A and B are shown apart, each in its own frame.
Chain A
Amino acid sequence: MEIARHWRLKQQRYGLVGEVCPHCDHKIFPPRDVCPNCGDEAKEPFNFSGQGEVFSFTTIYEAPAGFEANAPYTVALVKLDEGPMVTAQLTDLGEQPVEIGMPVEMVTRKMRNDGDERGVILYGYKFRPVLAGLR
């Protein structure tokens, strides 16, 4: 299902590719082609470092269809070092409690199986904790 949609978004999903405004240098994710800061056109691609920190978070026990196998899982608003915020799952948490302000970095992981039809496995970005001292 929706194969064209996933293909269309593969850059953003795998690599966290957004945009940078050529007028005011504002970094944009998800891409919107118009700078939310100055209102001018902004189509220049920008590769985010994938580094950021947890702005807020919670755990989902009752997951939407297609995500049940992952539940429970933690989702977060991650504030990227370059400015924008993204919504993403946290992964590789182990026993570590999540806190607001916790440093995290992007990794590519399996998101869900659309296996009922054509066996499509969706990959996308998640964030994992950065070990103290590595940043």
Chain B
Amino acid sequence: MEEILITGVGQIPAGEHWDSSLREMGAKAVRLALQNAGNPEPQALFVGNMLSMNISNQAHLATLIADRADLVGIEAATVEAGGASGGAAIRQAVLAVKSGLVDCAIALGVEKFTDKAGGELESALATNMDGDFEAMQGLTTTSQAAMLMQRYLMQYKAERSAFAGFALNAHKNGAGNPNAMFQKAIKADTYLKAEMVSEPLNMFDIAPFVDGAAAIVLTRSSLYKGSAQPVKVSASALSTDTLSLHDRVDVLEFRSVARCAQKAFDQAGLRPGQINLFEYDDQFGIFAALALEATGFCERGQAWKMALEDEIGVGGRLPCATFGGNKARGFAGGATGIYQAVEAVLQLRGDAKANQVPGATHAMIQGIGGPGSTCVSHILSKMES
């Protein structure tokens, strides 16, 4: 059966790259992924990016990066879906390769956040909201998450400390990831004493904004000649909800996630219980909780218990954020979804070292744009040899 394969992965460390530009970071990740794939000749480059037009005054990004990566002539286009941009670029690459119109495609995610900070960065991020009815009120992306968490704690009668498990797990796993921004475990006490950012969100409920780039190479199984064991794409889905929280009937139900996950499980012919690891989008701890619930890994109002009881640890029932997630690896906007893919491929290849999930066969990766406004999910699976 013809499968869509991921034959190469590449990533640069997530962090503060003041010395390198968007194009340098992007081109480097592309080169690493092509090398890892055995230097095939790609025909298309899809670039996931969230805010280069705003933060770097740079549009037309895919052509710029193709140029810098010595791929002039190739088909190239940028894909933007807020924080889900990276996963959306993978989706475009899958569609292109699966259609037969493209034999080999690269999905790259790249983001440069650190050229702006403070109010300028908040303004840039706020362009992801409804400009007329949210950003106009001075809303920030952090405050959207804070309002969700406030409501969650009230509705499910959970303590403020309920969300500690997500941060603890992320930092523990970040310690085994040389590409993570934070590579040190934290104590429960550190979480509880952390500085409040936007009540009830504290600084450990929020992922740090970092620069980063990661890339993967995709092709069809009938064209693959390499000897290394590739990973196949078992499912690829993207769904939306209303852009704004205020337009939802039930704000604590991430319906884009529920729809998207259902499509992915149907495509792969899998149930949630058959997923061995889940790279969720933990830009905020509350997003991770609502994603676990909407994807069907636990009942509504229960996700924080999964985290506190360490069911999401590398040895747990459903390992999550196995390389630190956004919280410890760092949130790199449009690059995030591709970092997730790279990390899942390392797990499925058995190359995850200290963070290896035993017997990893099926990995789900999921990106979220806005407060659940867009969701993109992929299921990646080990090829039966």
Q: Which A residues are closer than 8 A to B by beta carbons?
A: 5, 9, 12-13, 30, 36, 55-68, 70, 73, 75-77, 84-89, 100, 111-112, 122, 124
Q: Which of A12, A36, A87 has the most CB of B within 10 A?
A: A87
Contact partner of A64 (CB less than 8 A), chosen from B122, B130, B146, B248, is B122
B157 at the interface (CB under 8 A from A): no
Q: Give chain A residues whose Cβ lies under 8 Å from the Cβ of B246.
A: 77, 84-87
CB distance from A109 to the nearest CB of B (A): 11
Having A59-B198, A87-B245, A122-B136, one finds 4 other A-B pairs with CB under 8 Å, namely: A5-B132, A62-B142, A63-B119, A75-B138
Tell me the residues in window 122-153 of chain B with beta carbons closer than 8 Å to chain A beta carbons. 122-123, 126, 130, 132-140, 142-143, 146-148, 150-151
CB distance from B242 to the nearest CB of A (A): 8
Docked complex Cα distance between A70 and B139 (Å)? 12
CB atoms of A58 and B137 under 8 A apart: no
Docked complex Cα distance between A73 and B244 (Å)? 20
Q: Give chain B residues whose Cβ lies under 8 Å from the Cβ of A9.
A: 132
Docked complex Cα distance between A64 and B141 (Å)? 10
Which 7 residue pairs are nearest across A and B when measured between Cβ atoms? A58-B146, A67-B138, A64-B122, A56-B151, A85-B246, A56-B147, A64-B123
CB atoms of B133 and A60 under 8 A apart: no
Instruction: Say whether, besides A58-B201, A60-B198, A112-B138, A87 and B133 are in contact (CB < 8 Å).
Output: yes
CB atoms of A62 and B151 under 8 A apart: no
Contact partner of A100 (CB less than 8 A), chosen from B118, B126, B136, B150, is B150
Contact partner of B140 (CB less than 8 A), chosen from A5, A63, A122, is A63
Instruction: Say whether, besides A59-B199, A64-B119, A65-B122, A89 and B137 are in contact (CB < 8 Å).
Output: yes
Docked complex Cα distance between A62 and B147 (Å)? 15
CB atoms of A62 and B122 under 8 A apart: yes
B251 at the interface (CB under 8 A from A): yes
Q: Give chain A residues whose Cβ lies under 8 Å from the Cβ of B150.
A: 56-58, 100
CB distance from B117 to the nearest CB of A (A): 10
CB atoms of B198 and A56 under 8 A apart: no
B1 at the interface (CB under 8 A from A): no
Instruction: Say whether, besides A58-B198, A87-B246, A64 and B135 are in contact (CB < 8 Å).
Output: yes
CB distance from B120 to the nearest CB of A (A): 6
Docked complex Cα distance between A59 and B199 (Å)? 6
Docked complex Cα distance between A75 and B150 (Å)? 12
Docked complex Cα distance between A13 and B201 (Å)? 29
CB atoms of B138 and A55 under 8 A apart: no
Docked complex Cα distance between A67 and B118 (Å)? 12
Q: Give chain B residues whose Cβ lies under 8 Å from the Cβ of A87.
A: 133-134, 137, 139, 244-246
CB atoms of A66 and B198 under 8 A apart: no
CB atoms of B245 and A77 under 8 A apart: yes
CB distance from A128 to the nearest CB of B (A): 14
Q: Give chain B residues whose Cβ lies under 8 Å from the Cβ of A86.
A: 133, 246
Instruction: Say whether, besides A68-B119, A87-B133, A100-B150, A60 and B247 are in contact (CB < 8 Å).
Output: no
Q: Give chain B residues whose Cβ lies under 8 Å from the Cβ of A111.
A: 136-138
For B151, the closest partner residue in chain A by CB is A56
Q: Give chain A residues whose Cβ lies under 8 Å from the Cβ of B148.
A: 56
Q: Give chain A residues whose Cβ lies under 8 Å from the Cβ of B200.
A: 58
Q: Give chain A residues whose Cβ lies under 8 Å from the Cβ of B118.
A: 62
B154 at the interface (CB under 8 A from A): yes
19 examples of A-B residue contacts, CB within 8 angstroms? A5-B132, A30-B132, A30-B133, A56-B150, A58-B150, A60-B142, A62-B122, A62-B140, A62-B197, A64-B119, A65-B120, A67-B138, A75-B137, A76-B147, A77-B147, A77-B251, A86-B246, A87-B245, A100-B154
Tell me the residues in window 241-280 of chain B with beta carbons closer than 8 Å to chain A beta carbons. 244-248, 251
Contact partner of B126 (CB less than 8 A), chosen from A56, A58, A61, A64, is A64
Docked complex Cα distance between A57 and B251 (Å)? 13
Instruction: Say whether, besides A85-B246, A86-B133, A64 and B147 are in contact (CB < 8 Å).
Output: no
CB distance from B67 to the nearest CB of A (A): 32
CB distance from A98 to the nearest CB of B (A): 10
Docked complex Cα distance between A5 and B247 (Å)? 21
CB distance from B305 to the nearest CB of A (A): 22
Tell me the residues in window 193-208 of chain B with beta carbons closer than 8 Å to chain A beta carbons. 197-201
Contact partner of B199 (CB less than 8 A), chosen from A58, A70, A73, A124, is A58
For A126, the closest partner residue in chain B by CB is B137
CB distance from A72 to the nearest CB of B (A): 9
Q: Give chain B residues whose Cβ lies under 8 Å from the Cβ of A84.
A: 246
CB atoms of A58 and B143 under 8 A apart: yes
Tell me the residues in window 147-190 of chain B with beta carbons closer than 8 Å to chain A beta carbons. 147-148, 150-151, 154
